[in-house]
A = this chain, B = another copy of it.
Amino acid sequence: MRHFRLVLEYDGAAFEGWQIQPDGVRTVQGALVEAAQKLAGGGEMIVRGSGRTDSGVHAAGQVASVSLETDLDAEALLKALNGNLPRDVVVLEAEACDADFDPRRQAKTKSYLYAVWNGPLRSPLRAARYVHIPQPLDISAMRIAAKELEGEHDFASFQAAGSDVEHTVRTLHRITVSGETGGELFFEFEGSGFLRHMVRNLVGTLLEVGQGRREPRSMAALLEARDRGEAGPTAPAHGLTLAWVEYGDEAGGESDTSPGR
């Protein structure tokens, strides 16, 4: 068997998320499995991702591994997979990796981007990728709140309701809020790992701060509460993009999987 590390870009609009599901449900992992199966000649084949993305969430640099019986080298595999994949997903990079490479467990840092259109009117040209907030957002207030969220914290308040993950401590290395009130705004989250819906719940909460409906300096208390009911709503999926995943040297390859465009 040969083992490869892949970097993927996809438009999440027409996928029911990353994770493979029963026949008839269109998922990114499912599409990748189908594309790889055609190369594996009916033999065993394993496809793993760095983490699940929800239905409607996009990726510019998702990382996956694929193990299969093949004579193809990494370059030929990339071409063959792209020939078999649908138009809304592409393999940007492929390289040989160790058999024990685990894209989820070995991921060191992940980065997500969330896009907001803050104009008073809807923007048809941004509708597919930006979430529309018509009220002017107070960027300074959101930055103060973001500062309080950075660092190692228990993020139980921001975990999807009904999630059964017990260890909810994560480290958010950095939250950046860029852009301008009345225009395009971007939230960037860089962290050691993320709970289910965590980024979208953080964004939903920060947007409430930006609209003056929540105190900027209330984030420490909100983390302390460990109560999903205390945080803001889950922001819509279509504004979210998994930007890149970084690995330490132990993963045996480049340490930064950003497509580097």
Residue numbers of A with Cβ under 8 A of B are 9-11, 58, 60, 82, 87-92, 119, 121-125, 127-129, 183, 241, 261
Contacts and interface: CB of A to CB of B under 8 A. Distances in A.
Contacts of A124: 9-11, 87-90
Contacts of A90: 121-124
A129 B125 CA distance: 9
Contacts of A60: 125
A60 to B, nearest CB: 6
A9 B125 contact: yes
29 contacts: A9-B123, A9-B124, A9-B125, A10-B124, A10-B125, A11-B124, A11-B125, A11-B127, A58-B125, A60-B125, A82-B121, A82-B122, A87-B122, A87-B124, A87-B127, A88-B124, A88-B127, A89-B124, A90-B121, A90-B122, A90-B123, A90-B124, A91-B121, A92-B121, A119-B261, A125-B129, A125-B241, A128-B128, A183-B261
Contacts of A261: 119, 183
Closest 10 CB pairs of A and B: A11-B124, A88-B124, A10-B124, A90-B122, A90-B121, A9-B124, A11-B125, A90-B124, A183-B261, A89-B124
Contacts of A9: 123-125
Contacts of A125: 9-11, 58, 60, 129, 241
Max count, chain B CB within 10 A of own CB: residue among A92, A183, A241: A92
A11 B261 CA distance: 26
Task: Count identical subunits in the complex.
Answer: 2
Nearest to A93: B121
A200 to B, nearest CB: 18
Contacts of A82: 121-122
Given A82-B121, A87-B127, A90-B124, 16 more contacts: A9-B124, A10-B125, A11-B125, A11-B127, A58-B125, A87-B122, A87-B124, A88-B124, A88-B127, A90-B121, A90-B122, A90-B123, A92-B121, A125-B129, A125-B241, A128-B128
Contacts of A88: 124, 127
A245 B67 CA distance: 54
Nearest to A182: B261
A11 B11 CA distance: 17
Nearest to A241: B125
A91 B89 CA distance: 33
A11 B122 CA distance: 12
Contacts of A128: 128
